[in-house]
Amino acid sequence: MRRHELVSPSCCLSGLVLLLLLALSARAQRQAQTDPSEVAALNAIFSRWGLRASTAWNISGEPCSGAAIDDTTDIDNDPNFNPAIKCDCSYNASTICHITRLKVYRLDVVGQIPAELQNLTYLTNLNLAQNYLTGSLPTFIEKLTQLQYLHLGTNALTGVLPRELGNLENLISLAISANKFVGPLPEVVENLTKLEQLYIDSCGLSGELPSTFSNLKKLMILWASDNDFTGKIPDYIGNLSNLTDLRLHGNNFDGPIPASFSNLVNMTNLRIGDLTGEVSSLAFVANMTLLKTLVLRNSRISDNLASADFSKFVNLNYLSLYVLIDAGT
């Protein structure tokens, strides 16, 4: 009778280890890779702007690697990661990475916004602030529908704001301050109902604030100072009850300051000034007891300081009432 050979436990264990190593090797070979169209777009953008990808995240030519997929790396606050990207590699059973964030901040980049940017359709955060970007804000911006944060402040962008901006319905923060735009704020801002922060100060806009602006119920910060806005300060702003920081000075608004502003009880920073026309009452600030900064320069206030009991404003650390009281002259 033929004897059966016994297989030792150590041999079985070695076999299992080998299979595991082979599986891990196969997995490594299938490591998630950046969408090729996005790689091409990123390379073209960097080439136009004379930038080089950092080896901290572009390891061996693979953009979505290293710090780009490391959740512990904060590219917003770490100057060592600039330019930088972040990626989401959960697509197609974790085999495909898409670029979700692009930061090119304060790098003296010169030129227009490249057309290749429209191919980065998975972007949720785009920060191109404090460069020397010129030309208009391209209409293809509407293709970046997943954007939540769009920061283009302190550049030299020109032209009118495209209506296509209204298609970015997921925007939480829009910053276009310190540019050279012309014309009014487009009425399509009514579509940006998720907006919490809007920075449009010193950007060249003019005309009246559109009535559709009243749809921005989640707005917490509105900087609209130092433009050429005209007409009366809209009454509906007083219904944007989440506002904490409002800056309207340096425009050509007509008074009065709407009485509805008394609804803005969450306000911590209020700056209004340079009003013409009808006089205003100071009573609207009476319930703004959370104020830290209050600036009402040249606001044609008709009553005296007793209209607001400033003893309740325990957080107030900056108060400017320059030429506050209107004497009827």
Residue 16 maps to a domain: no
The residue behind tokens 């227009």 is 112
The residue behind tokens 């009014």 is 184
Q: What mean pLDDT, rounded, does the chain reach?
A: 90
Amino acid (one-letter) located at 52: R
Residue 298 maps to a domain: yes
Alpha helices by DSSP H, listed for the chain, are 9-29, 36-49, 91-94
Domain extent, residue 175, equals 31-320
Q: Which two tokens stand for residue 71?
A: 């959740």
Q: How many domains does the chain have?
A: 1
Residue 21 maps to a domain: no
Q: What integer is the mean pLDDT of 7-12?
A: 52
pLDDT tens readout for residues 116-138: 999 999 999 999 999 999 999 99
Q: Which residues pair with 149 in a beta bridge?
A: 125, 173
Residue-level pLDDT at 21: 44
Q: Which two tokens stand for residue 317?
A: 């650390």
Residue 105 maps to a domain: yes
Dihedral through CA 24, CA 25, CA 27, CA 28, nearest 10? 120
Q: Which two tokens stand for residue 14?
A: 């070695």
Closest CA to 165 of 131, 203, 221, 202: 203
Q: Which two tokens stand for residue 76?
A: 């917003």
Residue 204's H or E segment, with its range, is: none
Question: 174 burial class (0-12, 13-18, 19+ CB within 10 angstroms)?
Answer: buried
Counted residue by residue, the chain has a size of: 329
Q: What is the CATH number of the domain that holds 267?
A: 3.80.10.10
Residue 325 maps to a domain: no
What does the DSSP assignment read for 295-313? EEET--B-S-GGGS-GGG-
pLDDT tens readout for residues 78-93: 888 999 999 999 999 9
Residue-level pLDDT at 163: 96
Q: What integer is the mean pLDDT of 92-119?
A: 98
Q: Is the pLDDT of residue 18 over 50?
A: no
Residue 14 maps to a domain: no
Residue-level pLDDT at 67: 94
Strand 96-103 relative to strand 84-90: parallel, antiparallel, unpaired?
Answer: antiparallel
The string over 272-286, giving b where at least 16 C-beta atoms fall within 10 Å of a residue's C-beta and e elsewhere, is: bbbbeeebbbbbbbb
Q: Which residues contact 227 (CB under 8 A, 6 or more apart)?
A: 200, 201, 202, 203, 204, 205, 206, 250, 251
Residue-level pLDDT at 309: 82
Residue 235 maps to a domain: yes
Report CA-CA distances (Å) from 210 to 170, 229, 233, 264.
20, 11, 11, 20
CB 315 within 8 A of CB 294: no
Residue 119 maps to a domain: yes
